[in-house]
Amino acid sequence: MGALDLVKTLIGFDTTSRGSNLELIRFAQGHLEKSGARCRLTHDATGKKANLFATIGPEGDGGYVLSGHTDVVPVDGQDWSSDPFKAEVRDGKLYGRGACDMKGFVGTALSLAPEIAKARLKRPIHFALSYDEEIGCVGVTGLLEDLKREGIRPALALVGEPTLMKIVGAHKGGAKMVTHCCGREHHSSAPEKGANAVMMAGGFVSLLDSVWDGLRADEDARFDPPHSTVQATVIGGGTAVNILAARADVTWEYRCLPDRDPQAILDTVSRRAESEVLPKYRARASEAAFQTQMHAQYPGLKMDEDSPAVRLARELTGANQVEAVAYGTEAGHFQSYGIPAVICGPGSIEQAHRADEYCAVSEIEACEAFLRKVIAKASQ
C-alpha cells in the first residue's frame, strides 16, 4: 500500500479523542509486524486506548523514532463539504479529518515499513504512535515511561506534526486548567446576601487577561506571539436569571515560552485571585472560594540547534533555518525524557482542526522523500 492510500485508510478510522483508537492501533500493529517489527503496547486506565511502539532493525540502544499521534479533534458543528472520515483527493489536496494533523505523517511512515525492513539498517528505526495528544499530550507519557522502565534509549525523535516540512526546533509549553468558582445561592433581588459564582467567574476571567498583559514584556522574537499567553476559553454556570449562582466553571490555559517557569504563571493567578477578586465575595459568604484543577500539562520544546535531532533534520532537508512555533506537541515530552526531538511533517498547521482539513498531496510526497533519506541515514 502506497503512502497516499495508507493515509486514506487511516483517515477512515474515527479516532476522535473522546473515543477509542484501538482499531487503528491494531491495524498499524498488524501492518508493522508483517515487516518484522517488534511491537509494544501501553494502554490507558480504561483499556480502550493504546500507544504503539514498534522497532525494525538491530537490537540495542540508539535509532530514530518516527513519532505521531493517532487521535483527531471532533468534527461536531463543522460544515464539511465531504465526509470527514472518507478521504477524498480534489485538486491535488487530500481532504479528511487528520489529513494534516497528523495521519499524513503517520500513514507515510507506515507505508515505508517494508522498505525499512529490507534496508541494511545499522541502527533501528522506531515507530511511536500515541493516543490523546489533542487533549494535552496525555498518552505519550505512558509510552515514554515504558521505554524508561525497559531501558530502551532511542537516539532522537522526529515528530511529524504539520510544518510544511520545515524544521521546527522549539515550541511553547502549555496546560489546561478548570477553576471552580464556589459561591452561595440566594435570590437575585438580594445580591449582597449571597455570592454570585457567575460574577466571580467574570472577575477571574478579567484577572487572567491582566496576568496576560503582565507577560507581554517578556518576549522571544522567534515565537508568534512572542510572549507567554493566558486566556479563558470556556465558561459555564448558573441555573436561572433570578438565582445567584452557587457555582461556575472557567476553563483556561497558558502557553508558556519553553525556557520560562510555568509555575510562576499559576502562582501569580492563584495569589491575585485570592487577594484581588475573592475578598469581595468572602465578605458576603465565608465559603466563597476558587478551586483550580490541572487537567493536562505538557512541557515546551527548548531550542537546541546542536542536538542530534536538529542536526539530522537539517542535514537531510538542507534547511538553513530552524523555526519555533506557539502550538504544543509531544516533542517537549521526548526532550524531557532525555530523547532529543525535532518537528518536521507534511501539511500546514493552518489547516488543522478546521472543516475541510486537507494536506497537499505534494506534501505527502515530500515527506516520503524525507523519510527515505532517514532510512538511508540509518543504514550508513
Hey, what's the cell of 369? 522523500
- Per-residue H/E/C for 330-350: CHHHHHHCCCCEEECCCCCHH
Q: Does residue 224 have an active-site annotation?
A: no
| DSSP letters for 34-46 | TTT-EEEEEE-TT
Nearest CA to 168 among 368, 335, 282, 376? 335
Q: Out of 71, 356, 357, 363, which one is annotated catalytic? A: 71
Sign of CA dihedral 166, 55, 47, 45: negative
CB neighbour list of residue 300: distance below 8 Å, 6 or more residues apart: 170, 171, 172, 173, 174, 256, 257, 258, 259, 328, 332
- According to DSSP, the β-strands at 50-56 and 38-43 are antiparallel
Helix (H, G, I), strand (E, B) or coil at 315: helix
CB 377 within 8 A of CB 67: no
Spatial separation of the C-alpha atoms in residues 344 and 141, rounded to whole Å:
20
Spatial separation of the C-alpha atoms in residues 209 and 141, rounded to whole Å:
31
Spatial separation of the C-alpha atoms in residues 145 and 314, rounded to whole Å:
29
For the chain, first and last CA: distance in Å? 26
CB 106 within 8 A of CB 129: yes
Q: Out of 101, 132, 133, 161, which one is annotated catalytic? A: 133
| DSSP letters for 76-143 | TT---SS-TTS-EEETTEEESTTTTTTHHHHHHHHHTHHHHHHS--SS-EEEEEES--TTTS-THHHH
Cα 25-367-67 angle, rounded to 5 deg? 40
Q: Does residue 71 have an active-site annotation?
A: yes
Active-site residue set: 71, 133
